[in-house]
Amino acid sequence: MNDSLQNSSLLIAQNRNGEAIAILNVLIEQKKVKNDALMYRSQAYYQSGEYDNAFGDAKAMLKDNENLTEYQLYNANWNAGVSLIMQGKFAESLDFISNAQKLKKTDLKVNQTLALVYMNLNRFNDSMKYIKKCQKIIPNHFGNYKLLGQVYLMKGEYDNALINYDKSISLNPNYGPAYENRATVKLKLNDKDGACNDLRKALSLGLTHLISIIDEICNR
């Protein structure tokens, strides 16, 4: 691996994304290891919350589709897809995440993400199909039950949602998003006290965006 490319990779791993981007900019301007540089810069932009730039670099890689290695092709599709997801553009992300899944059919993360995309497009049968794939890859993974809970929540099947969030939390008691989502179900079931307990637990696990919600729902 090119020394500058390797240094940028180490910087990204340390979340020093600005420093990595500066190195990668030079490599791209010099047209050295261009696709690898674009791949790493896309990742650095993504970690910095610059999702448009992350998508732009991934899309630039895909224009050179025929010259990409399988690893580069996977990362280009993955980076493009998740950058769109972070912007709420689920329909636009679908082809990219689907392409990534075709390259890593037994990868838990990409199958869970594809299930999430279908769920947000209200394509619940397709979402369940990929959740079942996830269960085959790693049975009883807490994230799979959280996804099942989300599907049932969005379908209005609150009792089934609650069962699956309970299961997710039993498998990983430190997984904040499951508490947050279970709180939503409990509010739907008119269990305000239970919902507030879950929201406070999620907050204690680092979900600081819940502070104002807790104040509005639980402290009045």
Contact 20, 12 (CB under 8 A): yes
Q: Stretch 32-58: mean pLDDT, rounded?
A: 95
Contact 213, 198 (CB under 8 A): no
Question: Per CATH, which fold does 1-89 belong to?
Answer: 1.25.40
C-alpha separations of 163 from 159, 160, 188 in Å:
6, 5, 14
Q: What is the pLDDT of residues 132-164, one digit of tens each?
A: 999 999 999 999 999 999 999 999 999 999 999
* Three-class secondary structure of residue 137 per DSSP: helix
The structure's pTM equals 0.91
Both structure tokens of 198: 């879950």
Closest to 103 measured CA to CA, from 76, 143, 127 = 76
Residues whose CB is less than 8 angstroms from the CB of residue 182 and which lie 6 or more positions away in sequence, other chains included:
149, 162, 165, 166, 169, 198
Does residue 65 have a pLDDT over 90? no
Q: Report the CATH number of the 105-220 domain.
A: 1.25.40.10
Say if 1-89 and 105-220 have the same CATH topology.
yes
Using 50, 70 and 90 to split pLDDT, how confident is the model at 120? very high
> Tokens 């965006």 label which residue?
209
Q: State percent of the chain over pLDDT 70.
A: 99
Domain boundaries, the chain: 1-89, 105-220
Q: What is the pLDDT of residues 188-198, one digit of tens each?
A: 999 999 999 99
Does residue 58 have a pLDDT over 70? yes
Query: What does the pLDDT read at residue 1?
Result: 66
Backbone φ, ψ for residue 105 (5° rounding): -65, -25
Between vectors from CA 154 to CA 137 and to CA 117, what angle results, nearest 5°? 50
